[in-house]
Structure 1
Amino acid sequence: MPLWLQWTLIVAGLTIIALLLVFIFRQSKALSEGKKRQAKADEFIRQRRKDMAESVRVIALAIEADQVEYSEACLRLKGLLDHLAPELLEQSPYQVFLEVHDRLQHMPTHQARQATETRFLEKLDKERFEIEKQYADEIRRAATAIRLHSFDD
């Protein structure tokens, strides 16, 4: 084999090795950045769950201290539990949050409530207060239970 061919093959081999090293380095860097992004996303989700669990506990405390209307609390708790632990809404005593939500979901809230006629709102409020009264004991028991529930996975 001629000497020039040997040197050409050696240079070609070294070039391929250098290119492969660059490729490996870039892939390694991309994997590292992907792991960092995933860790950041996991931390965000963990913190979000922690914040939702804290919100559930605050609402439960407000129920126990009679600082919030039961209907409002049930609507909020049902929404939080949908994301935090939806299976709880099918279990006793927590299912009361779903039951009250289902009985109240047809009622207007926020801007829709402001745009609704006063007489109709009075009728809806009367219905809402009756539902709150009907479920009051169950709501209080469920609030205590949900406040003490551990949401750690």
Structure 2
Amino acid sequence: MSLSVFFLALTTGILVIAGLALLILRLLKKDQERKLALAEAEQRVLEGRSERIDSIRVLLKVVGTEELGWIEAAIRVKVLLDQLSFDLSTNEDIGVFYKVYAETEHIPTHDSWNELPSSAKKKFRVQMEQCEAQYLDALQRGKQALLDYPLV
């Protein structure tokens, strides 16, 4: 083998090794970026869960006051529990939030509520008052049970 063939093979080998090293470095950088993005996404998920749990606790603190009625609180709590992927519908005390939601989910909200005629609003208010009266004791027990429940 001539010296020029040897140097050509050596140069080719070095270039291949350098190219592979660059490829490995790029892949490692992409993997590091992916891991960082995944860690940031996990952090956002944890923060979102924490915010929802805090929202539940705030709702439970103000429920029953002039600021927040039991029906609206029950609906909001149930939706937040769903967002947290908690299904506490079979819990003896907490399940009342799901019952109230099921009995009132047909009632329009937000813009749909505002568009209703007064007679329809009155009819729905009567339904909400009856539902609240029916479940008030259970809602109060459910409130305490949910405050005691380890939402983590």
TM-score, normalised to structure 2, is 0.95
Q: Which residues of 2 match residues 48-67 of structure 1 at below 5 A?
A: 48-63=48-63, 67=67
For 1:135, the equivalent position in structure 2 comes to 135
Matching residue of 2:78 = 78
Cα offset for 1:97?
Answer: 0.7
**Aligned counterpart, 2:69:** 69
Kept after mapping to 1: 8 A contact 2:52/2:80: yes
Amino acid at match of 1:19: G
- Label 1:101 to 1:116 Cα distance change in 2 as closer, same or farther (>3 A): same
Task: For residue 89 of structure 1, report the CA deviation from its aligned partner.
Answer: 2.5
Structure 1 residues without counterparts, runs of 5 or longer: none
Structure 2 gap segments, 5+ residues each: none
Q: Which residue of 2 aligns with 1:95?
A: 95
Match status 1:45 vs 2:45:
yes
Aligned residue number for residue 13 of structure 1: 13
Runs (4+) of structure 1 moved beyond 3 Å? 64-67
Tell me which protein shows more helix as a share of its residues: 1
Q: 1:72 to 1:84 in 2, by over 3 A?
A: same
The answer to which structure, 1 or 2, has the higher relative contact order (CA under 8 A, 6+ apart) is 1
After TM superposition, the score normalised by the length of structure 1 is 0.94
Looking at structure 1, the residues matched to 132 and 86 of structure 2 have their Cα atoms a distance apart, in angstroms, of 22
Is the contact between residue 96 and residue 138 of structure 2 (CA under 8 Å) also seen in structure 1? yes
C-alpha separation between the residues in 2 aligned to 1:139 and 1:62? 13
Q: Is the 8 A contact 1:81 1:89 kept in 2?
A: no
Task: Report how many aligned residue pairs link the two structures.
Answer: 152
**Cα RMSD over matched residues?**
1.3
The worse-fitting range, judged by mean Cα deviation, of 81-90 and 137-146 is 81-90
Measure the CA separation in 2 of the matches of 1:62 and 1:145.
16
